[in-house]
Structure formats: structure tokens, C-alpha cells
Amino acid sequence: MTRLISQDVENISVDLDRFDSLLHAKTGHTLLEVACHAANINKRPRRSLISSLKAGVVPMTSGEGIIQGFSETVRSILAHLGFHAFVTENTDAAGVAEAFENSVDIVMMADDRRFVALSPKNCQVIDNSVATGWGFAAGLDLMVGGLKGNKVLIIGCGPVGQNAAEALIHFGAEVSAYDVNHERCIALAKRLFRSKYVNIRTEKSLAHALSNHKFLIEATNSPDVIDEKSLGPGTFIAAPGMPLGMSIAARKKVEAHLLHDPLQTGVATMGLMGLKACRPLELDQEIKPNG
């Protein structure tokens, strides 16, 4: 699992409008719309409904400690989408207490192992790995104009890759998976068969798998896994992995069809999943024709 560093997040807050424009140019959709698609929210929620959700972001000093700018960046991504978000003045337990005392709908916090949004009112946990897997799969679905019936290769079967697999199945894709540890592929395939009665293909050779796929999820968290020779000009990649698992030349070759960010898609999807958890009836009203 990758721990972000302050350089990963330092420019995100000031660059959100540009990020959104680029995302729109690649997918035809904004960050809010990609996150809605990931959270299975079919209609863009009213701004007033989004702003009714209060999110407290709590800095956590445990383990390797605070990442400079992390909490403020999470807050700014949520605020960019219209949420009422704030960073608590206190850290750790005191910060959680402060969030509760301010009647938050969700508390967001990350230590070295998990990054979660907790909904105190209905005891729901939204995990960043789940949201990131669904967010990037949703982005790929929108970028290619629908994955239904299309083959998609997942590279890296860790928590984000596993959740991307579930999302891709939901979007109707035919999923193949590769991991340097082939046992992880087998375990994922078995789990998906048990839980969804869906068969996915497990790949032993990355080079062979890449030659057969133009739609990819890169979730390895390892640098330089994919080089430019493995990619055609028509390859589309959603890459939640940090660092990006592509050589500089590979990145340049597919830049126009590459979705990659350290925090934006995952946090935005956590926010929309949080809205769904906390305002289900209001969201339901919005999609009824005369509601």
C-alpha cells in the first residue's frame, strides 16, 4: 500500500478547476459526474443537497503521522464539489470528538492503513480503496463511451484493483486480471465467482495480456510496469496506482486517454457515496419524474 507524500498533494487544491477541465476533455464529464456514476447516482444532485452534507476531515498523527497538506486537500476536493467540508482544529480522538460536536454527517480520516469516511448516523464505513476502484472504473466507462461487452484488463489485484473488478462487472465489462503474484489473481477470480457468479480471466503473462487489451486499469502502485511498446495509440487507461506504473514514454503516448490522480477521484467518490448513505430519500426524490 502506498503512503502519499506531501509533494503528491501540494498542488491539488489550487489546480482543481484545471483538473476538472482536463477530466471533462477526456471523459465528457466533470469530477462530480464521474463520482456520481461511481456511486450509482443517476442524476446530478442539486447543489443545495450536496451543500447540506457536512464533512469533518480529521488529521491523524498515528503511525507515520501527518502528511503536510493532506487533510486540507481532502477538504478542498469536497468543497470543490459543493460539500460543506472543514478540517478539525484538533487531531486524532479530539478531532473526531470535535467533528461530532459540530454535528457532521461524515467524518473523514486516514492513518497508514486505511482512509475512511464514517457516517455516524447509520454506522456506514466508506473505504477509500473501494471508492477509488469504483471511481476509476466509472471514469474509464465514461471515457470509452460504455464498457458493456468490452474486454478490460486489471493490472494489480490489491484492494483498489479488486474493487475496480467489481465495478467493471457492474458496468458489464469482460474482466481479465494480472498480478505479479498470480495467487492474488486466482483469489480474486474465486471471490468474484462465489459472490457474483461471474468468471474473470486470470493472466499469467503481462506482455501477452497487454497485447490483447485496449482498455486497462493500472492499479499496481509500482513504477515502470508498462512501457510504450506495449501500448497502441487506441489504448485507454484508468490508473489509480501511486506511483503511476508507466514509463514516461508510455505516459506520453496515451496522455489523451489516461486518467490518473493521487486523491481527487477517490475522495470525490467517497463524498458522493457519503451523500448516498446520508441522504438516500432526498436523492431518490430527485430522480422521480415529478418528485
Instruction: Give the interface with ligand 2YH as residue ranges (CB under 6 A).
Output: 1-4, 59-60, 66-67, 70-71, 110-112, 114-115, 128-129
Of residues 214, 215, 223, the one with CA closest to residue 241 = 223
Q: Taking the complex as a whole, how short is the minimal distance between the CB of residue 198 and ligand 2YH, in angstroms?
A: 25
Asked if residues 137 and 161 have their Cβ atoms less than 8 Å apart, the reply is no
Alpha carbons 81 and 30: distance in angstroms, whole number: 10
Task: Mark 38-51 as b/e (b = at least 16 C-beta within 10 Å).
Answer: bbebeeebeeeebe
Q: Taking the complex as a whole, how short is the minimal distance between the CB of residue 291 and ligand 2YH, in angstroms?
A: 36
Residue linked to cell 480474486: 188
Alpha carbons 221 and 1: distance in angstroms, whole number: 7
By beta-carbon proximity to ligand 2YH, the closer residue of 128 and 162 is: 128
By beta-carbon proximity to ligand 2YH, the closer residue of 18 and 114 is: 114
Q: Taking the complex as a whole, how short is the minimal distance between the CB of residue 186 and ligand 2YH, in angstroms?
A: 23
By beta-carbon proximity to ligand 2YH, the closer residue of 45 and 266 is: 266
For 32, phi then psi, to 5°, come to -60, -45
By beta-carbon proximity to ligand 2YH, the closer residue of 210 and 242 is: 242
By beta-carbon proximity to ligand 2YH, the closer residue of 3 and 208 is: 3
Q: Taking the complex as a whole, how short is the minimal distance between the CB of residue 63 and ligand 2YH, in angstroms?
A: 7
By beta-carbon proximity to ligand 2YH, the closer residue of 77 and 250 is: 77
Of residues 155, 137, 126, 128, the one with CA closest to residue 238 = 137
Strand order in the sheet with 151-155: 201-203, 174-178, 151-155, 215-218, 236-239, 258-260
DSSP 3: P
Q: Taking the complex as a whole, how short is the minimal distance between the CB of residue 148 and ligand 2YH, in angstroms?
A: 28
Q: Taking the complex as a whole, how short is the minimal distance between the CB of residue 104 and ligand 2YH, in angstroms?
A: 16
